[in-house]
Structure 1
Amino acid sequence: MTHSRKALLLLDYQVALCEEGPHLRMPPLAAQVAERGVLVTAEKVLAAARTAGWLVVHVRLAFDPSYVLRTNRLARFDAYPDQRAMLTDSPEAKIVQALAPLPGEPVVDKGCVDPFVGTPLLQVLAAEGVGEVVLGGVATNLVVESAARHASDAGLQVTVVEDMCASFRPDFHEFSVANMLPLFGTVTSAEELLGSLA
């Protein structure tokens, strides 16, 4: 049986990571998101994916109050429980308004970098008959790269929309796009993707 359905995976487009304001946790990342116009680009791709009838899945870093479901136990993740940060219901963990999920679009909460670890994402994609995932998110060299690696190893076709992504520093993004992501899938631009849908 061939899986032909496409899914758009929107990765970590959250208030704490993408938006200037009181809930911002990662100023260098938000600055790159703004400079690269990532949210505007993502909004266009999201609208096209919805029109095309793709499965749209929103993924975010969000923790239950116990923080025990946090699978990443590295020291750099200790800030979250220490500061009671990125709780499921908190304003900072919310998906940015421009890309807010519509009713019927699933939101997957994860406790680590990789959206497939400790979540039902892979099973959901299989159940929905998805054979190709289109990725966009922040940071390029973290969640996007992790998702691309995992998805390709799991037998999915992977496309990364480069201008839907940003990292903490331009050189991190550029290295990932030029050297790492092409190992796991196709890297494209929003314009090319939208052109192929038109």
Structure 2
Amino acid sequence: MAVVHIRLGFRPDYADCLSVAARIAGLNAAIVGEFGTEFHPAVAPLVGEMIVTKQCVNPFFNTRHMTWLMRNGIKRLYLGGVATHLVVESTARFGDDAGLAPVVIENICAAPNPALHDHFITMIAPAVGTVSNTAEFVASVSEA
């Protein structure tokens, strides 16, 4: 199974940050190579797994992610991450629009507010894909 790791990361001068949203104002983090842009050892990429560094919420915008998926014949996305209501939602919506089949693995997603997480999982994710959990994911992979 192909695994892609996606992280947020900017140049030190933030010249590659296009967003003008309020959440970006005063941003003093996510500089590539500094604390907060590396993966936790428990989920660190293995040799050969692709890493995409993005500068916005949508991991398909201005990255090689979609090209890589298409070139490799990927038709289903299994999603987990932070923040459920921004990044996971954006990825699921765009993936659905692109003809991919997003599967949101609910218990490996998180948001700063549980209500934001729950709203996406219960109200939006079922409209753009499927909601699953790690036990169901592991069982489905074992059967394949």
Q: Which sections of structure 1, spanning at least 5 residues, go unmatched?
A: 1-53
C-alpha distance in structure 2 between counterparts of 1:192 and 1:145, whole Å: 20
State the TM-score, normalizing by the size of structure 1: 0.69
State the TM-score, normalizing by the size of structure 2: 0.93
Q: What residue is the counterpart of 2:2 in the other structure?
A: 55
Q: Which sections of structure 2, spanning at least 5 residues, go unmatched?
A: none
**After superposition, what is the alpha-carbon deviation per residue over 1:87-111, rounded to whole angstroms, capped at 9, x for unaligned?**
1100221111110011211111111
Q: What SS does structure 1 have at the residue aligned with 2:136?
A: helix
Divergent runs of 4+, >2 A: none
**After superposition, what is the alpha-carbon deviation per residue over 1:24-47, rounded to whole angstroms, capped at 9, x for unaligned?**
xxxxxxxxxxxxxxxxxxxxxxxx
Question: What are the within-5 Å matches in structure 2 for residues 23-62 of structure 1?
Answer: 54-62=1-9
1:61 is aligned with what amino acid?
L
Q: What residue is the counterpart of 2:97 in the other structure?
A: 153
Aligned length: 142
**C-alpha displacement of 1:122:** 0.5
**C-alpha displacement of 1:73:** 2.3
Q: What residue is the counterpart of 2:138 in the other structure?
A: 194
C-alpha distance in structure 1 between counterparts of 2:34 and 2:15, whole Å: 17
Higher RCO structure (Cα 8 Å, ≥6 apart): 1
2:136 is aligned with what amino acid?
E
1:134 partnered with 2:78: yes
**After superposition, what is the alpha-carbon deviation per residue over 1:141-172, rounded to whole angstroms, capped at 9, x for unaligned?**
11000000001001111111010111111111
The partner residue of 1:96 within 40, 47, 54 is 40
Question: What are the within-5 Å matches in structure 2 for residues 66-81 of structure 1?
Answer: 66-80=13-27
C-alpha distance in structure 1 between counterparts of 2:57 and 2:26, whole Å: 14
C-alpha distance in structure 2 between counterparts of 1:133 and 1:148, whole Å: 8
The partner residue of 2:126 within 166, 182, 195 is 182
**C-alpha displacement of 1:127:** 0.9
Query: What is the Cα-based RMSD across aligned positions, in Å?
Result: 1.1
Q: What SS does structure 2 have at the residue aligned with 1:194?
A: helix
Q: What SS does structure 2 have at the residue aligned with 1:104?
A: coil
Q: What residue is the counterpart of 1:113 in the other structure?
A: 57
C-alpha distance in structure 1 between counterparts of 2:37 and 2:25, whole Å: 16
Q: What SS does structure 2 have at the residue aligned with 1:171?
A: helix
